[in-house]
Amino acid sequence: MIMKKIIPILLVLALGGTALMTSCTADDTTAPVVTLSGDPVVDHLLNTAYVDAGATATDEEDGELVVQVLNNVDPDLIGTYLVEFSATDNAGNTGTAERVVNVIVKQVSFVFNWAVVDTVTGVGAGIYDYNSTITASAVDLNKILITNFGGFGTDVIVTATFDKFGNITIANQALVGVDPGSEGSVTGTGVMADHGNQIFIEYTITYNAGGTDTGHATFTKQ
């Protein structure tokens, strides 16, 4: 008779323990929230130190978490980069966020003295070495002034526009200040090298007196 009383009691204890274990092992499936400090897209000037604004992370169960950062930004090369942030809670859930960083050029990236090697085909065919100074337009932040363009002299200034990744456009314009007989118009395109130390410009000059020149000019920062 004693054993008959003990068995139901043990069964109740066993069931109660099972219920207790079940209630304590509820899964945490919610990832932490990673929040950027600062803007999600950043434009950063070439050849200047980059310091990221960082991020924070919070979790419903674990509170504030440590954020891991993967920063591949090379501030000395033009391009688009990702800074990746992640945080993992005690249940193994991971939250992420990312920032886009564009390493870009501005007028100041062009304003230097440049040594130019210019390979020309056409009526004035030859390889020409000369110096050119690039200055900033006072009226347009995306415009530069190229002095001694084509090696025609320091009075010859050609204007060009650029985008933030260093792509250059020389809109069709008259060559002003050239010697008599060299009057004409010029148009062209170019690009700044990723490291910012060189510029490559291809241009065409159409002379009023007839004929054309096509130049492939490499500008190297001095």
Start-end of CATH 2.40.128.20 domains in the chain: 108-221
Among 13-17, 60-64, 92-96, 205-209, which is the least confidently predicted range? Answer: 13-17
Residue 180 in this model has a pLDDT that exceeds 50: yes
CATH says 28-104 is which class? mainly beta
pLDDT at 26: 65
CA atoms within 13 Å, Cβ hemisphere of 29: 2
| Mean pLDDT rounded to a whole number for the chain | 91
Residue 200 in this model has a pLDDT that exceeds 70: yes
Q: Mean of the pLDDT values across residues 143-159?
A: 97
The CATH architecture of the domain made up of 108-221 is: Beta Barrel (2.40)
